[in-house]
Every structure is written in structure tokens, then in C-alpha cells.
Amino acid sequence: MMGVMQDKGFSDPEAKEARVCLFALRTAVDNGYRSLVVEGDCQAFIGRLKAKDIPNNSLGYFILEILALVVSLDFIVSNFIKRGGNKVAHAMAHLQPIAYHKRIWKEGGPDSIYSLATEDMCTFIDHSLI
């Protein structure tokens, strides 16, 4: 399964990452997934999420929503991943045509993503991340 939600606004990288994380978690849970790995290339956000650091702003709202959702899962782990190992997420965020609504593929997906997924996996192996 893969999905993307493109929109305008949220120029703060942490807020963008938090919003995307919440979208991904809600989508996964709605589709029956209960064991998840969250990866993001915004180290500040991943650190806040792991520490359950909830600022008093819009970022805090997203983190609260994420933490409330996480308690319903059987397993979850959050990892920081450098942008070089996160090509799929970057390509999905910039998927053309830009559509300001969510798109979810329960099977298959855009052809351009598959070769990037292979590259991401090779990056993980090269850096002994798996």
C-alpha cells in the first residue's frame, strides 16, 4: 500500500513531517495494519516524537494526535533516515500531477516509485541499516 496527500501550506519542516506521519498512520490503521515502522528525514520531528515532546503550537497538535493513535497499535518504531535513503517519500510528495487531495493505492502504484524503492533498499543495505 502507498499513498500521498499533497497540499499547500505548512512551510515548517517539522509540521510537514508530523502532518504526513499522521496521514500515513491513519491510513495504515484504517486499512487494518497494526505493526508499523515510521521513517522520516526530519530528525527534529523524529526526536520529538520519540521523546513525546509536545510543543504548544500546531506541531504539538499533530504529535498529540499521533501519540493517541499509536496506543492502538501492536508495534511501532520511529526512525530517522537521511534524505538519500528516502527517495520514495520524496518522489511521492512531488508526484505529478499535483492533486490537492489524498491518493492511496492499495495494490500497485505509480511505476516511477518501484525503481526508487529498490534504490532506497540498496542504500539501507550499503549503510547496514537493515
Q: What is the DSSP letter of 86?
A: -
Domain assignment of residue 7, given as a range:
2-126
Q: Express each pLDDT in 23-63 by its tens digit.
A: 889 999 999 999 988 888 888 999 999 999 999 998 999 99
Cα three-residue angle 60-65-67, rounded to 5 degrees: 95
Number of domains in the chain: 1
CATH number for 65: 3.30.420
The count of other CB atoms within 10 Å of the CB of residue 34 is 11
pTM: 0.72
Q: Express each pLDDT in 54-110 by its tens digit.
A: 999 989 999 999 999 999 899 888 878 777 667 777 677 776 666 666 777 777 777
In contact, 2 and 92? CB cutoff 8 Å = yes
